[in-house]
Amino acid sequence: MSASSTSNFLRKLFERIPLPVAIIIGVWAANGVLLPLYLQKWNSSSQSQVEVDSSALLEIDKGQQVPAVREKLPLTENLINFNSTAGEKLLFESEARADYLPLSIHFVTQTNQAFCGVASMVMVLNALDIPAPEAPEYKPYDIFTQKNFFNKQTDKIISAKKVSRQGLTLAELAGLLATYPVKTEVHHGGDLTLDEFRSLIVNNLGQTDNFVIVNYLRKAIGQETGGHISPIAAYDKDTDRLLILDVSRYKYPPVWVETEELWLATRTLDSVSNKTRGLVLVSDR
């Protein structure tokens, strides 16, 4: 069965499952309880639920070394852990969540600490059922991975090697996506009012077959510490919070953040581009 056929089958299956059951399954998938679909495996240390601390190696017998591990970082009080009673309740009650299920099905962990943008794009391209390149590790199935995403066309924008050193700017994120058959819209946080920011996201989350990727400064929402990129999956009107499916799953869980806080976090300056961070809206052409 091809990746596209499998995805269509899953969508039809979820349409027949009562909403509460479907959401619970999605919650499990988003928090790493279910095995990722399409035979994806967490087969590298950076895809585990802990972060390797390369500066602290534990000595063991015969001169061998094993890496010390660090638990996920704690959340500040302004953020609501999705993997909590309160977090799950927000999803049940959220008004705009069309993107949640397809994104949770394709939720991945970034394979290195600069690949947050790459992981986010892979999730969105798979959720849109864009024809994927060959994935030798999953042959005969084709699916986007963080290995096969890059090609000669993407290298004209930025190479995988360079991304692994410095990450992506908002323009580079949109440029890489545009090498595939999708439409992109770039919105810098500094150009948007809070109402405009909220409206763009909520309108997108209320529709199928389009997605929102956000580029923000972690420090501005109480996390450590620099710029980050992840998809947004849902919006709850009563609390005015957005659900970020954080692709650095070894470091932080998915969180609900107040819309104004995230807006302010996108209005911060990216030192590489010298422009503010922001949003990329992605849809099929």
pLDDT tier at 86, thresholds 50, 70, 90: very high
Q: What is the pLDDT of residue 225?
A: 82
Write out the two tokens for 73. 């970082």
Q: What is the pLDDT of residue 43?
A: 34
The average pLDDT across 140-162 equals 97
In sequence order, which residues have a C-beta less than 8 Å from that of residue 113 and are 6 or more positions away?
46, 248
Nearest C-alpha neighbor of 189 from the set 277, 260, 69: 277
Q: What is the pLDDT of residue 285?
A: 84
Question: pLDDT digits over 166-179, tens only?
Answer: 999 999 999 999 99
What is the DSSP code string of 202-228? Answer: HHHHTSSSEEEEEEEEGGGGTSSSSEE
- Please provide the average confidence, as pLDDT, over all residues in the chain: 84
Domains of the chain are 3-53+65-284 (3.90.70.30)
Question: pLDDT digits over 178-231, tens only?
Answer: 999 999 999 999 999 999 999 999 999 999 999 999 999 999 999 998 999 999
- Find the length of the chain: 285
**Could you give the CA distance from residue 132 to residue 144 in angstroms, rounded to a whole number?**
5
CB atoms within 10 A of CB 118: 29
Question: pLDDT digits over 6-16, tens only?
Answer: 455 555 554 45
Note the Cα 105 to chain centre separation in Å.
12
236 exposure class (CB count in 10 Å sphere: 0-12, 13-18, 19+): buried
The average pLDDT across 119-136 equals 97
pLDDT at residue 143 greater than cutoff 90: yes
pLDDT at residue 258 greater than cutoff 50: yes
pLDDT tier at 27, thresholds 50, 70, 90: low
Question: pLDDT digits over 154-165, tens only?
Answer: 999 999 999 999
pLDDT tier at 29, thresholds 50, 70, 90: low
**Could you give the CA distance from residue 285 to residue 282 in angstroms, rounded to a whole number?**
9
Nearest C-alpha neighbor of 281 from the set 151, 188, 153: 188
CA distances from 241 to 42, 94, 134 (A): 30, 9, 38
For 165, left (φ over 0), alpha (ψ -120 to 50), or beta? alpha
The average pLDDT across 83-87 equals 97
